[in-house]
Structure 1
Amino acid sequence: MTYHPKSEFLQVMTERGYLADCTDLQGLDKALAAGALPGYIGFDATARSLHVGSLIQIMMLRWLQKTGHKPLVLMGGGTTKVGDPSFRADERPLLTQAQINDNIAGIRAVFASYIDFGDGPTGAVMLDNSEWLDGLNYLDFLRDIGRHFSVNRMLAFESVKSRIDREQSLSFLEFNYMILQAYDFLELYRRFGCRLQMGGSDQWGNIVNGIDLTRRVAGAEVFGLTSPLLTTSDGRKMGKSAGGAVWLDAGMHSVFDFWQFWRNTADADVGRFLKLYTELPLDECARLGALGGAEINTAKIALANAVTTLAHGAEAAKAAEETAREVFEKGVSGPMSAHESGEDVASIQGRVSSLPTLKLTREELGKGLSIVQVFVRSGLAKSGKDAKRLIAEGGARLNDEPITDPGLVLDAGALAQPVKLSAGKKRHALVTLDG
């Protein structure tokens, strides 16, 4: 018989598709109904931003707070020094303490768009597990904590087993990660009364370890909940684009490119993504997701606007939509479009300013810069070879006109007005003369 949760949080998790597994659904439901429940998700500080691949977990913490509970954001300042081996083919590169600190500061800024930090019953708290891991005495830790772990059981977890089955090295350093993560749950229970750990389904083994340790050491009833590991309908890992990771920090991934990533969602994914990544009512998600033909584009724009509003604000989302309309529907491409429309260039440039922009100085230009170099420097090509291939295949455009000559040179005269570069139909950048 299917269990129908009574708590609002679990209703949201179930109805919107966040729930993959739970260690004790009825027990957690009862605990949630009893009052504000602290719950946490851990994030290792391997970069100065999180990307779209972490957005489900961020949304879970947001919903936890919106339904009256207390989100704990645990930064792995300590565990980042070890590296999570879960489903990885190799060992993570080790970071310095300064790099880890900078990354944590950047990630906190990302979270500020999604949850409210504060001291109240539902105020979010950001913590760093280096606070309790850095000072551990190794022998005491082995005696008091290590004795509760079965190596046989740890080797049976899929995240470890898959690595060993592929005959890929798993260092003792990495093997300790799951013990440290389990210890985090115990510490958070002791310090905050935390009774819930959430994460992606690849964290199931680590979460179960933490529950077992907390029960053995503290005699506490705690819970674990995982979300599905999400892939797009064509099998790609969520959060990746042709240009790499889709970061949540606007300084690492422009707002326009972020908006466009969601606008380019495959038709089959729209309904599911609306439920997971936005707060639109479920009936509206269903209505939009059921649209067919050209009408599905309305749903994709609604998705892009809603997700971008959460990440970067309503004004940024509106500006990105207007930019897209100018670039894709009206074909704005510089002075010619301005002349034909009777609109001044500055006005058009203002509306497309959220496009990724390469600013070149007169000193950089000199007597001119090859179009191949410009494509590479704008980020539309990874290398000169990539840019030449793009030109040869007819995918490179300058102000919406195909580029056929890889020897083309842009000089100060060509950049008297901003120009638009395009790589294929969906990737664009502006090139301007700075000064």
Structure 2
Amino acid sequence: MTQTSLESTNPALADQRNDASFENVWQELNWRGLVQVSTDEEALERALSGEPIVYYCGFDPTAASLHLGHLVQLLTMRRIQLAGHRPLALVGGSTGLIGDPRPSSERTLNTPEVVAEWVDSLRTQIKHYISFDGESGATMVNNLDWTQGVTAIEFLRDIGRYFRVGTMIKKDIVAKRLNSDEGISYTEFSYQILQGFDYLQLFRQYSCTLQFGGSDQWGNLTSGTELVRRAENAQVHALGTPLITNSDGTKFGKSEGNAIWLDSELCSPYAFYQFWLNQSDADVIDRLKVFTFRTREQIAELERAVEEEPFKREAQRALAWDVTSLVHGEDATRKVIDASAAIFGRGELGEIDEPTLHAVSAELPSATVPADEATAVRLLVDTGLVKSNGEARRAIKDGGAYINNEKIDDGDAVLDSSSWLHGKFLLVRRGKKNLALVHRS
């Protein structure tokens, strides 16, 4: 695939800027909390403050979509690119066939056909977040290109001889697995050699001198720096970004046990927006630093808003707008905001498109009811908004029951077919905030 065919079509890239109040991008990365661990900090700051360098980050196709952990890396790539440096976006067609070791157990190996399909999916997603134009335009690479033709004997003789088993087994993730009941296979144990080989190849082909990734990958990152040092007698850099956690110590990027994917088919723009909108006051400023391009001054203003008027949730709304617009586009974000307003009676329900209503239904209690049995009493009971027919009738009598934001007076009347949104949905509300969506069977 050529570089021009990978040109990003994301209009948000044109408006992105690093914060000019920082002396260099290294200082901004530190302020944003994106530096957990690195090789020589002073040398790395000099490198990022000087003439353009080539750097890379790798993404393994272990799923059909990238998620929020990957978004941290993509935005870090973009920030460094905006400083004039040139990114290599590596999609692991070979390492994806192996999978890096997990803390708990062996990975399930996917077929080459599935991995190849996911490689294409990730390449499409990555091009949305970095630019492939100009002197600092990115290049997409696939490590299958330089591994598939290497024989086992060549790999052991030319690459394996630089690695020491004693060092390899001291890597945190390997040590944990070795001390577990399951142990670790030679396949996953060898992953760090493959990733080191990537760095060596990119150093040789592109003069790449910086690799970064999550700090949990530090052992794999330093495998590459050590291999380049041993094989080429050259010093290169590695940077580990922190794993993002919530203020209560729980893992960030999960919503009721589900990963927050960047693919709209796996996580709708509505669910995505709501995830960001629901960030706590304790976490929202850190999220703004990591996931948006707002300046230090702008974020300070939002921090004051959190302290002085937290009920307005101004910082959360800014965060949700910025990240959802980046990932899904401004039009999709506006639709989500309009839909949220309409659901709570501050807009026209009829203007919510069907895909957004489907997304809303995944976030609300729901029930499926035949059209000829759709009375307000049944809808309230079946959706769980009330526990009994009697409670439903009392809610209706007290004026606290709504269908499609219209107050209900007769709980036993079957709703007219024209009431169904897109012929499929009814929005049921009890009081101001208790909502559910009914599907027509």
| Distance in 1, Cα, partners of 2:369 & 2:295 | 52
With 318-327 and 286-295 compared, the bigger mean Cα shift is at 286-295
The 3-state SS of whatever aligns with 2:197 is: helix
| Distance in 1, Cα, partners of 2:371 & 2:151 | 64
CA gap of 1:122–1:369, structure 2 versus 1, over 3 A, is farther
2:335 aligned to 303, 310, 319, which one? 319
2:176 aligned to 162, 166, 171, which one? 162
Check if 1:233 corresponds to 2:240.
Answer: no
Tell me which residue corresponds to 1:268.
282
Are 2:369 and 2:439, in contact at CA under 8 Å, matched by a contact in 1?
no
Map 1:59-74; keep pairs closer than 5 Å.
59-74=75-90
Are 1:45 and 1:77, in contact at CA under 8 Å, matched by a contact in 2?
yes
The 3-state SS of whatever aligns with 1:195 is: strand
Tell me which residue corresponds to 1:406.
none
Amino acid of the residue matched to residue 117 of structure 1?
A: F
Map 1:335-374; keep pairs closer than 5 Å.
347-351=348-352, 353=354, 355-357=356-358
CA gap of 1:159–1:359, structure 2 versus 1, over 3 A, is closer
Tell me which residue corresponds to 1:340.
none
Amino acid of the residue matched to residue 303 of structure 1?
A: L
Tell me which residue corresponds to 1:336.
none
Tell me which residue corresponds to 2:191.
177
CA gap of 1:212–1:426, structure 2 versus 1, over 3 A, is farther
Tell me which residue corresponds to 1:54.
70
Superposed CA offset, 1:404-430 (max 9, x none): xxxxx999687475313689x999786
Amino acid of the residue matched to residue 90 of structure 1?
A: S
| Distance in 1, Cα, partners of 2:369 & 2:224 | 58
Tell me which residue corresponds to 2:426.
419
Superposed CA offset, 1:210-259 (max 9, x none): 00100111122210011111111222212110161111111221111111
Amino acid of the residue matched to residue 349 of structure 2?
A: I
Tell me which residue corresponds to 2:8.
none
Tell me which residue corresponds to 1:91.
106
Tell me which residue corresponds to 2:220.
206
Tell me which residue corresponds to 1:153.
167
Are 2:343 and 2:349, in contact at CA under 8 Å, matched by a contact in 1?
no
Are 1:22 and 1:224, in contact at CA under 8 Å, matched by a contact in 2?
yes
CA gap of 1:100–1:391, structure 2 versus 1, over 3 A, is farther
After TM superposition, the score normalised by the length of structure 1 is 0.79
Q: How many residues align?
A: 388
The 3-state SS of whatever aligns with 1:419 is: strand
2:270 aligned to 251, 256, 269, which one? 256
| Structure 2 unmatched runs, 5+ | 1-21, 362-367, 392-401, 407-413
CA gap of 1:91–1:411, structure 2 versus 1, over 3 A, is farther
Map 1:190-205; keep pairs closer than 5 Å.
190-205=204-219
| Distance in 2, Cα, partners of 1:367 & 1:318 | 31
The 3-state SS of whatever aligns with 1:311 is: helix
Tell me which residue corresponds to 2:124.
109
Amino acid of the residue matched to residue 147 of structure 1?
A: R
Amino acid of the residue matched to residue 34 of structure 1?
A: G
Are 1:289 and 1:296, in contact at CA under 8 Å, matched by a contact in 2?
no
| Distance in 1, Cα, partners of 2:351 & 2:343 | 13
Map 1:380-391; keep pairs closer than 5 Å.
none
Tell me which residue corresponds to 1:30.
46
Tell me which residue corresponds to 1:337.
none
Check if 1:131 corresponds to 2:145.
Answer: yes
| Structure 1 unmatched runs, 5+ | 1-5, 333-346, 376-386, 402-408
Are 1:262 and 1:300, in contact at CA under 8 Å, matched by a contact in 2?
yes
CA gap of 1:276–1:296, structure 2 versus 1, over 3 A, is farther
Identity of aligned residues (%): 37
Report how far residue 284 of structure 1 moved: 1.5
Are 2:270 and 2:360, in contact at CA under 8 Å, matched by a contact in 1?
no
Aligned Cα root-mean-square deviation (Å): 3.6
Map 1:385-400; keep pairs closer than 5 Å.
none
| Distance in 2, Cα, partners of 1:85 & 1:368 | 55
| Distance in 2, Cα, partners of 1:135 & 1:427 | 60
Amino acid of the residue matched to residue 285 of structure 2?
A: G
Superposed CA offset, 1:361-389 (max 9, x none): xxx98888999xxx9xxxxxxxxxxx999
